[in-house]
C-alpha cells in the first residue's frame, strides 16, 4: 500500500528494505548482485535503514573467502503493533512486536450488533491496557490493524453496507481511534486478514490461496498471485450470501439475516444452526456436537458448504484452501472435503490441499500484522522517512 504523494526510487532505501524483508537479498553482497548498485551505495542505503531502526544485523558468519558477511533482517524492536480481529460474536485483541511476535492476546464475547461505539470503546480500553503492560509503552506504538466482518471501502476508509452490522455503515473506525493513538489505523474484512495471515506466516510460498471461515456467518478471503483480492468495492469473497438454497431441506426459501432469501448462510451457517437448535451462540452449539442428531446436521451443513466451495474452486483454482471458524469440526470438514472433490473439476483439485489453518483463532491478528507492516514498510514511505 503506497501513497501517491510520495516519490519512490526502484533503488532507494525503501526498495532495499523490501528486498531484505522478502528474503530475496539479506546480505550486502546479495543486495549488490540483485540491484547492480555499488558497495558504497548499498552501504549508504543500509546505514540509513539501520539508523532509522528498520533493519538490524542478526549474525556474522565467515564466507569461503574468509571475509565476514552480515545477515540483515527487519528489526522486531522497531516498535509495537496493536491488532483487533472482530467477528460477529466476539473479538480478539493483541499487542505484538514489529515482526508479529505475540506479546499478549485477549479475547471477549460481544455481538457485532452492539454497535461501533460499544465494541470499539471496549477495544480502545483493552489497547491502552495492553500498551501499559509492555516495557516499551505507548510511545513505541507504530500502527493499528483491525479486521471487521463486513465490506471495507479502502478509498474512504469506512465500512460499506455491511449486511449484519447495523449502525456500522460508513462509520469511521480510524477516526474513532485517532485521538488516543496518533498512528496509522488500517482495517480490512476479517476473513481477508485471516487469509493474509495464513499466507504470510504459514504458507508464504502459496501464491493462490482461499480461506473459508465457518462461524456465525460464512465468508472467504482470496489470495491470488500473492495478493489479497478485495474486488471493486471490497465485497469479494462473500460466498455466504450466494443464492444457494439447500433443496434437500424440502422447505420454502429461507430468509437470511441480510434480508434476502435463499442465501447459503440461511441454511448452513452458525447462526442458522443455532436458530434450529435454539441456542445462543455457535460456541454453545458446538458443546453439543457429539449428539448424533447435531453431528448429522453438521455433516449435512458440510455438504452444503462444500458445494459452494467447489464453485469457488472451479472459478479461482487455488493451490490451498484453509478452513477455520467456530463451526468447524472433523465430521463437518470431512463432509466438506468429500463434496469438494465430488463437485469440482479434476484439474482444479489435482494438487489441492484442504486443511485447518496452523494459526487457528489468531489468523486474523497475524493478518493485521501483515496489513500494517506492508503500509509502514512501503518503499515510498520508507524513502520519505530516510531522506528527512
Which pLDDT does position 66 carry in this prediction? 59
**Size (the chain), residues:** 388
H helix or E strand, kind and range, residue 348: none
pLDDT in tens, 330-348: 999 999 999 999 999 999 9
Which pLDDT does position 63 carry in this prediction? 52
Across 306-324, average pLDDT: 97
Which pLDDT does position 8 carry in this prediction? 43
CA 34 to chain centre: 30
185 neighbors 146 (Cβ within 8 angstroms)? yes
Whether pLDDT at 4 is above 60: no
Domains and CATH numbers, the chain: 13-74 (1.10.10.10), 79-195+364-374 (3.30.420.40), 204-357 (3.30.420.40)
Residues whose CB is less than 8 angstroms from the CB of residue 357 and which lie 6 or more positions away in sequence, other chains included: 194, 198, 202, 211, 322, 323, 324, 363
pLDDT in tens, 25-83: 999 999 999 999 999 999 999 999 999 999 999 865 555 555 666 789 999 999 999 99
Residue 334's nearest CA partner among 368, 284, 295 is 295
Residue 30's nearest CA partner among 73, 1, 76 is 73
pLDDT in tens, 84-120: 999 988 999 999 999 999 999 999 999 898 999 999 9
Whether pLDDT at 376 is above 70: yes
Residues whose CB is less than 8 angstroms from the CB of residue 57 and which lie 6 or more positions away in sequence, other chains included: 50, 70, 71, 72
In the predicted model, what is the mean pLDDT of the chain? 92
Q: How confident is the model at residue 1 (pLDDT cuts 50, 70, 90)?
A: very low
pLDDT in tens, 228-286: 999 988 889 999 999 999 988 777 899 998 899 999 999 999 999 999 999 999 999 99
213 neighbors 190 (Cβ within 8 angstroms)? yes
What is the Cα–Cα distance from 36 to 26, expressed in whole angstroms? 15
* In the chain, % of residues over pLDDT 90: 81
Backbone angles phi, psi at 73, to 5 degrees: -150, 160
Residue 225's nearest CA partner among 206, 197, 198, 212 is 206
Amino acid at each position: 500500500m503506497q501513497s501517491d504523494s510520495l516519490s519512490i526510487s526502484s533503488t532507494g532505501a525503501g526498495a532495499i528494505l523490501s528486498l531484505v524483508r522478502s528474503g530475496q537479498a539479506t546480505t550486502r553482497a546479495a543486495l549488490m548482485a540483485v540491484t547492480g548498485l555499488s558497495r558504497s551505495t548499498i552501504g549508504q542505503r543500509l546505514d540509513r535503514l539501520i539508523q532509522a531502526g528498520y533493519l538490524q544485523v542478526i549474525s556474522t558468519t565467515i564466507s569461503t573467502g574468509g571475509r565476514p558477511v552480515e545477515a540483515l533482517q527487519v528489526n522486531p524492536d522497531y516498535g509495537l503493533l496493536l491488532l483487533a480481529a472482530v467477528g460477529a460474536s466476539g473479538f480478539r485483541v493483541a499487542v505484538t512486536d514489529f515482526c508479529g511476535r505475540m506479546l499478549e492476546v485477549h479475547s471477549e464475547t460481544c455481538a457485532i450488533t452492539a454497535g461501533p461505539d460499544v465494541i470499539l470503546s471496549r477495544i480502545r480500553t483493552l489497547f491502552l491496557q495492553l500498551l501499559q503492560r509492555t516495557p516499551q509503552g505507548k510511545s513505541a506504538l507504530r500502527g493499528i490493524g483491525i479486521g471487521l466482518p463486513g465490506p471495507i471501502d479502502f478509498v474512504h476508509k469506512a465500512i460499506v453496507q455491511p449486511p449484519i452490522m447495523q449502525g456500522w455503515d460508513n462509520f469511521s473506525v480510524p477516526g474513532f481511534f485517532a485521538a488516543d493513538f496518533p498512528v496509522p489505523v488500517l482495517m480490512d474484512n476479517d476473513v481477508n486478514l485471516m487469509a493474509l495471515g495464513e499466507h504470510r506466516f504459514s504458507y508464504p510460498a502459496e501464491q493462490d490461496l482461499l480461506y473459508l471461515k465457518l462461524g456465525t456467518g460464512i465468508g472467504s478471503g482470496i489470495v491470488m498471485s500473492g495478493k489479497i483480492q478485495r474486488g471493486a468495492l471490497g465485497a469479494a469473497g462473500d460466498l455466504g450470501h450466494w443464492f444457494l438454497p439447500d433443496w434437500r431441506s424440502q422447505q420454502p426459501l429461507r430468509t437470511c439475516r441480510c434480508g434476502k432469501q435463499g442465501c447459503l448462510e440461511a441454511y448452513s451457517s452458525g447462526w442458522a444452526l443455532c436458530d434450529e437448535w435454539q441456542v445462543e451462540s455457535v460456541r454453545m452449539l458446538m458443546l453439543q456436537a457429539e449428539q448424533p442428531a447435531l453431528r448429522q446436521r453438521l455433516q449435512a451443513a458440510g455438504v452444503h458448504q462444500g458445494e459452494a466451495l467447489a464453485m469457488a474452486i472451479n472459478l479461482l483454482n487455488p493451490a490451498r484452501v484453509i478452513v477455520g471458524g467456530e463451526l468447524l469440526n472433523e465430521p463437518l470438514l470431512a463432509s466438506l472435503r468429500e463434496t469438494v472433490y465430488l463437485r469440482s473439476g479434476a484439474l482444479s483439485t489435482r494438487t489441492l490441499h484442504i486443511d485447518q489453518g496452523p494459526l487457528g483463532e489468531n489468523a486474523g491478528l497475524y493478518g493485521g500484522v501483515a496489513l500494517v507492516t506492508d503500509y509502514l514498510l512501503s518503499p515510498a514511505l520508507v524513502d520519505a522517512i530516510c531522506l528527512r
